[in-house]
Amino acid sequence: MKKALLLGLIGLMSVMGVRAGVIDSVDVRLRIGYNFGGTSPLSLPASIRSIDAFRPTFSPCIGAEMTIPVVRGQWSVVGGIRLENKGMDAEVTVRGYRMAMVKGNSQISGLFWGHVSQEVSQWMLTVPVSFQLSISDFRFRLGPYVSLLVSKEFSGIASDGYLRQGDPTGPKIEIGNKEGEWATYDFSDDMRSLQWGVGIGVDWQMSSRLGLSADLHWGLSCIFQSDFKTVEQTLYPIYGSVGVFWRIEN
């Protein structure tokens, strides 16, 4: 699947490159970069007592875009497509955190006290559209994006604690810190396949063709489907990216 998407993206880049030779006013750029950030609620709830570890995962992005001037030399509209991953590994200590998990052959749910490790990976095709302001060698852009997920994972381990089934006074189930004693969870199938948000960024044209870029992509949609209630917080993908771009001569 990923190979097919990458070949399609390369094909789109080639078409855009040919198109740039036909329309002189269109600026075409090929981009490659790296995403870093996390999937998080906007503010940490009281049930999350501490963040014990955070490890960025392999999260590249590659894409192409076309810039069409609205006011020559100053304002323009930018549209494109990119293949990217937004992922992270994290470990947190929680108190009374609502969870559903599997321990042994049993599905259990309730409020959990203990340690939670989490793996998130979201491979997606993203279509951004933005307005761009050009000032000297810098270009500032702002606009929405839509992402279609082609691969998704949200899973992890709950350990070193206990779970109260149903509510704080429910039966207590001990959760150990060794394989066979801990519990696992996987909410990948409950993740949203279509996400959206807003991006803001800046390009610096170092030479006639080569440049550097920095962006912030702020998700406005929860990563889970609207009917998923197991995780009580609304989690948003918030990622920055840095990269380089190559401007095709037109």
Domains plus CATH for the chain? Answer: 2-248 (2.40.160.20)
Q: What is residue 72's predicted lDDT score, i.e. its pLDDT?
A: 67
Contact 235, 39 (CB under 8 A): yes
> How does strand 75-103 pair with strand 172-175?
unpaired
Which pTM does this prediction carry? Answer: 0.83
The terminus-to-terminus CA distance of the chain in angstroms comes to 33
CA distance 100 to 230: 6
- Amino acid, res. 82: R
In angstroms, how far is CA 123 from the centroid of its own chain?
A: 8
Give the model confidence (pLDDT) of 138-175 as tens digits.
999 999 999 999 999 999 999 999 999 988 888 999 99
SS3 state at 227: coil
Dig out the tokens for 4 from the structure.
């097919």
Write out pLDDT tens, residues 181-219.
899 999 999 999 999 999 999 999 999 899 999 999 999
Task: Tell me the pLDDT of the chain averaged across its residues.
Answer: 88
Tokens of 234: 């609304």
